[in-house]
Structure 1
Amino acid sequence: MPHSPPQQLTHTLQSLTPTEMLATIDFLQQELQKSAHQIQQDVAIHHQLQKVEDALRVSEEKFRAIFDSTFQFIGLLDVHGVILEANKTALDAVGVERSQVIGVPFWEAIWWTHSPALQTQLQQGIQRAAAGELVRFEAQHILADGTPVYVDFSLKPIIDQDGKVVLLIPEGRDITDRRAMEIALRETLRSLEFQKLALDEAAIVAVTDCSGVITEVNDQFCQISQYSRAEVIGQTHQLINSGYHSEEFFTQLWETIAAGQVWKGEIKNRAKDGSFYWVDTTIVPFLDEDGQPFQYLAIRFDITAHKIAQDTIHEQAALLDVATDAILLRDLDQKVEFWSHGAEKIYGWSATERSPKMRRIYFMQTKP
């Protein structure tokens, strides 16, 4: 049942003339329309606010998903260093819940309490970051299982449109593996340096590029070749070629090392003054990631005295071999090392027939 209009309103309407009544009704209709329009606006604003709230919620969920899924340790601090947020990676690393660190001064949180020195360094870093400076240093932290990790840590200031620092973002990247590799690399380089020193003392060393152009030599190379480094660098080994070896000899050498294989052999070289010297040579190719040589390391040992001694022995052996007398050479174990043609004629045994392990030779014995 419809409500009756209030008595006061009824009395007021009855006192109006028809013209006034029409004007009043028109006014009331306009007010009703305004109210309806305002209600529509309020409803629209409410819907918009709801959409904004939904968007903010989705955005926060996305942020939290990204924030918590990153492998880096990330947080959020106020300008005084109090923790406002910490991601799951950072929390899980030390085995704590978010509620245990929110509102705590960062340097008093579990990540830093194992080292008073780091706590002091962090406090100083927070002061610098709050002044607008990007702070970065390396820190060691202890995980929940007691494992130490090395972290590349930074503090980044967030500045508002007025140029004021309003927040600080702490971030840490686990560099334990990289640190271990750096330590191993330093140890390897140190070991190689010692090996290089030892090699430089004992051997003649030269390094060339893939075309054979000399890029590095040691003092031993300069000493035996009589060339200075300035005279050698940028040249090829043609500079010390003696002309003793054939073209085929060097072709085979280059084919071997160009295929990535080590070459070993004896080479006769010529020094700056024209004298000759022999070197026992090993050439090692250095290969790139595609297995192609990009430089060569030549390690040589001076065997000139040995080669001269060999030549002398051969000359003496030739002289002994033409003698008509029976000449035998035995080592300390009485093993026959040399059996001349004269011995063959006298005893009737050729050098291949007699046993190299014979303990004694009966000089008067003849072959039946």
Structure 2
Amino acid sequence: MTERSKDPLYNCVVVKVGTNVLTRPDGLLDMTSISGLVDQIAELKRLGISVILVSSGAVGAGRSLLPLKEQTNKVVRRQVLSSIGQVRLMEIYRQFFLNHGLFCAQVLATKEDFRDRRHYLNMKNCFLALLRDQVVPVVNENDVISVTELMFTDNDELAGLVAAMINAEALIILSSVDGVLDGPPDEAASRVIPEIDPADPKWEKFILPSRSSFGRGGMHTKFRIAGKAAKVGIATYIANGRRADVLPGIVQGENSGTLFRPKEGVSGFKKWIAYNESTPKGKVRINAGAEEALRSPDRVTSLLPVGIEAVMGTFEKGDIIHILNEKEEIIGWGIAQYDYEKARSNVGKKGKKALVHYDYLYIEG
């Protein structure tokens, strides 16, 4: 490791490492790359930083142990390879972390674990207990049961959810590219964009739809997840996971990859609401004036009945509802303060209790 003297910028980070960083071109595990990653995480721990690792690679590990016929059903193939490979992957991590005197722990998750508030808090408490005891949680999607609607887009999405859950100060997404580029990756003139304001739509033009060789995601997914994490207050980086000492460099302020500048002052409860994209039990459509008020950065505004045009679906007090604008685009989420019947009777009326209080409201933008 390169000697550094700077104090770290963050006390708690989530590191997500993609398939292309952990595997060779043939899709099998790259032991040198994994060892180097663990060395860097151990360095972060030495600096006093709590680290959660969200790791792909289980399917690659399974592929090296049990080659399956290509004709095998795609979903079943993934289930079999990941269930076998996850054991192998964790044993590799266990051995490498033990070389640094560190313990690691396996955490497997599905989307459903983040949708239910009780499951969410149980998982959060587990993470906090592991970090308190200086254990490195190694998180992956539970591919054995994660199919169709239970699947994350990829582990980038899972990493964003975990970072929001534990109120991490930074999310570092390690890929096989140096960051978000201002041109096509195969053009020599393309340069890394060092910093992005996720609220500024001009940056989206630099993202080209692409997928990694063996992973499910691509730069478009990484850009979306990084932007969302930054909007809820998490400094988010996209950087090259094969670059030497990239993690210590990032946490000590060196220019590595692309930083998505975080928004300040978002509570843990709002982070949970922001990431809870399950099918809502209800929706409300608001008028343009209400949308403007809710989006205003200079005002603390709850969703009042006077700004509501329509109430759709059936929901109870405490349910999460979607908030639509006049074009019926989803602009936010919130926790209803009363049920759909009362909400419908209050539509358009002044002086009525807010349907969604500001403290339980998240507006995108």
- Using the size of structure 1 for normalisation, the TM-score is 0.19
Higher helix share: 1
Larger Rg: 1
Higher strand share: 1
